[in-house]
Chains A and B, each alone.
Chain A
Amino acid sequence: MKKTVFLGALTATSLIAGAAAAATLDDVKARGKLNCGVTTGLAGFSAPDANGRWEGFDVAVCRAVAAAVLGDPEAVEFVSTTGKTRFTALASGEIDLLARNTTWTFSRDTDLKFDFVGVNYYDGQGFIVPKALGVTSAKDLDGATVCIQTGSTTELNLADFFRKNGMSYEPVPIETNAEAIQQYTAGACDTYTTDASGLASTRATFETPSDHVILPEIISKEPLGPLVRHGDNDWGDIARWTLNALIAAEELGVTSANVAEMSASAGTSPEVNRLLGTEGDLGAMIGLDADWAAKAIAANGNYGEIFEKTIGENTPIGLARGLNAQWTNGGLLYSPPFR
Chain B
Amino acid sequence: MSDSHAQSVAFVRDTVIPESPPPALETGVVKWMRSNLFSGWFNTLLTLAAIWFVFMVLSVVVPWFANGVWEASDIRQCREIMAGSGGGCFAVIADRWQQLLFGFKYPSEEYWRPTLAFVLLFIAIAPLLFSKMFPRWMLVLTALYPFVAYYLIWGGTILAPLVALLGFVAGYFAYARVVRRSFAGAAAAGVVVAVVVWTLGGYVSAAAPGFMAFEPVASREMGGFMLNLILGVVCVSLSLPLGILLALGRQSNLPVVKGICVVFIEFIRGVPLITLLFVANVVLAYFLPPGTNFDLIVRVIIMITMFASAYIAEVIRGGLAALPKGQYEGAESLGLDYAQSMRLIILPQALKISIPGIVNVAVGLFKDTTLVSIISMFDLVGMIRGPILASTDWNGVYWELLGLAALLFFVVCYGISQYSQWLERQLQTDHR
Q: List A residues at the B interface (Cβ < 8 Å).
A: 13, 16-17, 20-21, 39-44, 46-50, 52, 79-82, 84-85, 88-89, 91-94, 178, 201, 204-207, 315-317
| Beta-carbon contact of B99 and A50 below 8 Å | yes
Query: What are 25 inter-chain pairs, A to B, with CB distance below 8 A?
Result: A13-B286, A20-B291, A39-B390, A40-B378, A40-B385, A40-B387, A41-B388, A41-B391, A43-B392, A44-B392, A48-B391, A49-B393, A50-B99, A79-B220, A82-B375, A85-B282, A85-B375, A89-B282, A91-B286, A92-B282, A92-B286, A201-B392, A204-B392, A204-B395, A205-B396
Interface readout for B331-343 with A: 1 if CB under 8 Å, 0 if not?
A: 0000000000000
Once the chains are docked, how many angstroms separate the CA of A19 from the CA of B94?
49
Q: Which of B104, B285, B376, B398 contacts A48 (CB 8 A)?
A: B104
| Beta-carbon contact of B376 and A16 below 8 Å | no
Q: Apart from A43-B391, A47-B391, what are 14 other A-B pairs with CB-CB below 8 Å? A: A13-B286, A21-B290, A48-B99, A48-B104, A50-B99, A50-B393, A52-B99, A82-B374, A84-B374, A85-B278, A92-B286, A201-B392, A205-B396, A206-B396
Q: Nearest Cβ distance between residue B388 and chain A, in whole angstroms?
A: 8
Once the chains are docked, how many angstroms separate the CA of A49 from the CA of B394?
10
Once the chains are docked, how many angstroms separate the CA of A172 from the CA of B390?
25
| Beta-carbon contact of A43 and B390 below 8 Å | yes
Q: Name the residue in B105, B282, B376 with the highest tally of chain A Cβ atoms < 10 Å from its Cβ.
A: B376
Contact residues in A for B289 (Cβ distance below 8 Å): 13, 16-17
Once the chains are docked, how many angstroms separate the CA of A52 from the CA of B373?
17
Which chain B residues in 377-429 approach chain A with CB under 8 Å?
Answer: 378, 382, 385-393, 395-396, 398
Look across to chain B and name the residue whose beta carbon is closest to the beta carbon of A55: B391
Q: Nearest Cβ distance between residue A38 and chain B, in whole angstroms?
A: 10
Contact residues in A for B31 (Cβ distance below 8 Å): none
Q: Nearest Cβ distance between residue B57 and chain A, in whole angstroms?
A: 19
| Beta-carbon contact of B395 and A52 below 8 Å | no
Chain B binding site: helix, strand, loop or mixed by DSSP?
helix
Q: Nearest Cβ distance between residue A164 and chain B, in whole angstroms?
A: 34
| Beta-carbon contact of B395 and A205 below 8 Å | yes
Contact residues in B for A317 (Cβ distance below 8 Å): 392
Contact residues in B for A49 (Cβ distance below 8 Å): 391, 393
Q: Is B96 an interface residue (CB 8 A)?
A: yes
| Beta-carbon contact of A50 and B95 below 8 Å | yes
Q: Is B287 an interface residue (CB 8 A)?
A: yes
Once the chains are docked, how many angstroms separate the CA of A316 from the CA of B75?
11
Contact residues in A for B382 (Cβ distance below 8 Å): 40
| Beta-carbon contact of B281 and A42 below 8 Å | no
Q: Nearest Cβ distance between residue B41 and chain A, in whole angstroms?
A: 36
| Beta-carbon contact of A82 and B376 below 8 Å | yes
| Beta-carbon contact of A50 and B395 below 8 Å | no
Contact residues in B for A52 (Cβ distance below 8 Å): 99, 104-105
Contact residues in B for A82 (Cβ distance below 8 Å): 374-376
Q: Nearest Cβ distance between residue B374 and chain A, in whole angstroms?
A: 6
Once the chains are docked, how many angstroms separate the CA of A260 from the CA of B343?
75
Contact residues in B for A92 (Cβ distance below 8 Å): 282, 285-286, 290
Contact residues in A for B291 (Cβ distance below 8 Å): 20, 93
Once the chains are docked, how many angstroms separate the CA of A316 from the CA of B77?
12
Contact residues in B for A13 (Cβ distance below 8 Å): 286-287, 289
Once the chains are docked, how many angstroms separate the CA of A170 from the CA of B131?
65
Q: Which of A17, A84, A89 contacts B290 (CB 8 A)?
A: A17
| Beta-carbon contact of A41 and B386 below 8 Å | yes
Q: Is B34 an interface residue (CB 8 A)?
A: no
Q: Is B76 an interface residue (CB 8 A)?
A: yes
| Beta-carbon contact of A80 and B99 below 8 Å | no
| Beta-carbon contact of B290 and A16 below 8 Å | yes
Once the chains are docked, how many angstroms separate the CA of A206 from the CA of B397?
10
Once the chains are docked, how many angstroms separate the CA of A201 from the CA of B390?
9
Q: Is B79 an interface residue (CB 8 A)?
A: yes
Q: Nearest Cβ distance between residue B7 and chain A, in whole angstroms?
A: 88
Q: Nearest Cβ distance between residue A65 and chain B, in whole angstroms?
A: 20
Look across to chain B and name the residue whose beta carbon is closest to the beta carbon of A13: B289
Contact residues in A for B220 (Cβ distance below 8 Å): 79
**9 A-B pairs with least C-beta separation:** A41-B390, A205-B396, A40-B386, A41-B386, A92-B285, A52-B104, A47-B390, A88-B282, A41-B387
| Beta-carbon contact of A315 and B392 below 8 Å | yes
Contact residues in B for A17 (Cβ distance below 8 Å): 289-290
Once the chains are docked, how many angstroms separate the CA of A255 from the CA of B412?
53
| Beta-carbon contact of B287 and A43 below 8 Å | no
| Beta-carbon contact of B390 and A316 below 8 Å | no
Contact residues in B for A205 (Cβ distance below 8 Å): 75, 395-396
Once the chains are docked, how many angstroms separate the CA of A40 from the CA of B396?
16
Q: Nearest Cβ distance between residue A205 and chain B, in whole angstroms?
A: 3
Once the chains are docked, how many angstroms separate the CA of A243 from the CA of B410?
48
Contact residues in A for B79 (Cβ distance below 8 Å): 207
Q: Nearest Cβ distance between residue B294 and chain A, in whole angstroms?
A: 11
Once the chains are docked, how many angstroms separate the CA of A49 from the CA of B390?
10
Once the chains are docked, how many angstroms separate the CA of A23 from the CA of B391?
35
Look across to chain B and name the residue whose beta carbon is closest to the beta carbon of A81: B376
Q: Nearest Cβ distance between residue B103 and chain A, in whole angstroms?
A: 8
Which chain B residues in 73-122 approach chain A with CB under 8 Å?
Answer: 75-76, 79, 95-96, 99, 104-105
Q: Name the residue in B378, B386, B389, B392 with the highest tally of chain A Cβ atoms < 10 Å from its Cβ.
A: B392
| Beta-carbon contact of B287 and A89 below 8 Å | no
| Beta-carbon contact of A42 and B390 below 8 Å | yes
Contact residues in B for A89 (Cβ distance below 8 Å): 282, 285
Look across to chain B and name the residue whose beta carbon is closest to the beta carbon of A78: B105
| Beta-carbon contact of A94 and B387 below 8 Å | no
Once the chains are docked, how many angstroms separate the CA of A41 from the CA of B382?
10
Once the chains are docked, how many angstroms separate the CA of A204 from the CA of B75?
10
Once the chains are docked, how many angstroms separate the CA of A94 from the CA of B391?
25
